[in-house]
Structure 1
Amino acid sequence: MSCTQTIADYALRSIGIGERLLPKGDMTLCEHFTLIGSGLIWNLYYGVLALFFGFFLANAIAVAKASANPWARKPAEWFVFVFRGSPLFIQFFLAYETFVLLPRAGIDIPLGFMTITVATSWLSKAWAGALIVLFLNTAAYSGEIFYGALRSIPKGDIEAADAYGMSGWSRFRRVMWPTMMRLAWPAYTNEAIFLFHATTLVYFSGFPAFQQKGDALYYATYFAAKTFNPFVAYPVIAAYFILLTLAIIGLFGMVNRHLNRHLPKERRSRIRLRPQIIR
């Protein structure tokens, strides 16, 4: 089988499009790259959606933690404490066991004049349950990052906004939030990288891969088990994630330059890739 045919058969294998049977016998390097790259679609799915929805929840958590109202501050503090204080691996298992214990037929919600049945079986699927865990986890870490940046806003900026007659939502939207983003963005970039790396833990969690539609690590482990050689499949998946990391750094770097566009060049913070060779 040529490499072109392999790509046509397995490029979208992880989402159920293409050849149903996994390769057997002598496995080529092209099959390694194609199938592991196909599994990366799920890692991108988890990472992109968790980061997108987690960003909005993280902003709400940061504002709630900075609030003087204990009814808003305390739940935000406990949410951050629980998800930052427990391992992500354990969160996956607890979430899966919780979702499995829910009634398979759904939960009945009586409304008086009628009863609505809310389906729950989909929560035990990896595409939903694992995504929820990653979303809540990154929201907790990002919320703490944004909270620290919110507390670090120079008082002069707030006083200047007050002098212009800004208050409440207008002051937060036009002065505080942009400054908070500018201060938090380098650390938030690291959180985005860690999140995409953490998507590989879905393979080890209780959420099963149905019909062999797994993520990148699922296929890398398959190749390593069949060939008894981990020094091909795992370096391939590592190379994919290195490229993904470079893409994140480039994309977030553009946002960082936009956030700091009003500052002199010598004061602009830069996001750079600095591999730590010797610790």
Structure 2
Amino acid sequence: MSCYETIQAYAFRSLGYGERLLPRGEYTLCEQFTLIGSGMMLNVYFGVLALVSGFFLAVALAVGKASPNAMFRKPAEWFVFVFRGSPLFIQFFFGYFCFLSLKGVSGFFDPFTSAWLGALVVLFCNTAAYSGEIFYGALLSIPKGDIEAADAYGMTGWLRFKRVTFPTMMRLAWPAYTNEGIFLFHATTLVFFSGFPAKRQQGDALYYASYFADKTFNPFIPYPILAGYFILLTLVLILIFGQFNKRLNRHLPQNKRSKIKLRMNLLR
């Protein structure tokens, strides 16, 4: 099979299209690049949807934690504490068996036992908790002068939040939120190594990299390929988040604009 035929057969295999049988016998570089790249589509799917949907819950959690009303503050604090206090790998296991138990109660929960939805819910809750803590810290760091200026202009309630509080909170939190977004995409590699099964061997990039490493007994080819794909994905994320950062800081002098720096998150 030529490289062109390999790409045609396996380029969209992780999405359920193309050749159903995985390569057997001779494992070429083209097959490894193609299948691992195909699996990256699932990593991007999990990362994008969890990040976008988790953003709104994170803002709500930050506002809830800052609320003087215990009815809003306590649930937000416990949600953040639970999902920040437990490992993501364990959350995947617990989420899968929780959805599996609920499946017997109601057919509504059937899709949640599949990775495409169940794992997405776990990632959504996890990134919302971490991002919510980032936004909460930024919310507390808003200069009092900004709030006093808004009060002087007669802004109160929702208008003050929309015009002053929220933009300032985003500007202060964005560099740290960028690192959370990058780590979230890296964390998607845990999906198929937790409780959620890969149906018809349709897994993510790490799933296929592990397959080739097991079959060839040589991890020094598939894993560097996987790392290369994630490095490229990280560069794309930095560029996208950097454009948002410029937009948020466009009103500030050049020397006072916050810069996005990649920091390794060693503990999760």
TM-score interval for Structure 1 and Structure 2 normalised by the shorter chain: over 0.9
| Aligned twin of 1:237 | 226
One-letter amino acid of the counterpart of residue 253, structure 1: G
Paired residue type of 1:41: M
Output the amino acid matched with 1:33.
F
3-state SS of 2:111 partner: helix
After TM superposition, list the pairs within 5 Å mapping 1:24-35 onto structure 2: 24-35=24-35
State the Cα deviation string for residues 122-150 of structure 1 (Å, max 9, x = none).
11101111100000000000000000000
Q: CA deviation at 1:180?
A: 0.2
- Contact kept? 2:179, 2:262, Cα under 8 Å: no
Match of 1:197 in 2: 186
Equivalent residue, structure 2, for 1:7: 7
Could you tell me which residue of structure 1 aligns to residue 257 of structure 2? 268
Normalised to the residue count of structure 2, the TM-score between the two structures is: 0.96
Match of 1:259 among 228, 233, 248: 248
How far apart, CA to CA, are the structure 2 residues paired with 1:156 and 1:102? 50
> How big is the shift at 1:253?
0.3
The aligned counterpart of 2:115 is: 126
1:162 maps to amino acid: D
Is 1:171 the counterpart of 2:160 in the alignment?
Answer: yes
The 1:196/1:162 distance shift into structure 2, 3 A limit, reads same
Partner of 2:238: 249
What amino acid maps onto 1:28 in structure 2? T
Supply the distance in 1 between the matched residues of 2:258 and 2:53 (Cα, whole angstroms).
26
Partners of 1:119 and 1:271 in 2: how far apart?
Answer: 42
**Structure 1: which amino acid aligns with 2:161?**
F
Where 2:51 maps in the other structure, the secondary structure is: helix
Alpha-carbon distance, 1:239 to partner: 0.5
Give the corresponding residue for 1:111.
Answer: none
2:188 matched to 1:184?
A: no
Q: Structure 1, residues 243-269: CA drift from partner, whole Å, max 9, x if none?
A: 111111110000000000000000011
Q: Give the deviation of 1:238 after TM superposition.
A: 0.5
Structure 1 stretches of at least 4 aligned residues deviating more than 6 Å after TM superposition: none
CA distance in 2, matches of 1:12, 1:28: 18
Aligned to 2:135: 146
User: Deviation of residue 274 (structure 1)?
Assistant: 7.7
Residues of 2 paired with 1:268 and 1:164: CA distance?
25
TM-superposed CA distance for 1:103, in Å, is 3.8
What TM-score does the superposition give when structure 1 sets the normalisation length?
0.93
**Identical-pair percentage:** 70
- Residue 89 of structure 2 corresponds to which residue in structure 1? 89
Cα offsets for 1:183-202 (capped at 9, x unmatched): 00000000001100000011
Q: What residue in structure 2 maps to residue 161 of structure 1?
A: 150
Question: 1:200-224 CA distances to partner (integer Å, 9 max, x unpaired)?
Answer: 0112101000011100011001101
Distance in 2 between residues matched to 1:39 and 1:100, nearest whole Å? 25
| Higher alpha-carbon Rg | 1
Q: Which one has the bigger helix percentage?
A: 2
Distance in 1, matches of 2:157 and 2:222, equals 54
Q: How far does residue 7 in structure 1 lie from its aligned partner after superposition?
A: 0.8
- The CA deviation string for residues 85-111 of structure 1, in whole angstroms up to 9 with x for no partner, is 01111111111111111243x53xxxx
Q: Using the TM superposition, give the Cα deviation of residue 273 of structure 1 relative to its aligned residue in structure 2, in angstroms.
A: 5.0
Return the alpha-carbon distance in structure 2 between the equivalents of residues 86 and 10 of structure 1: 36
User: How many equivalent residue pairs?
Assistant: 264
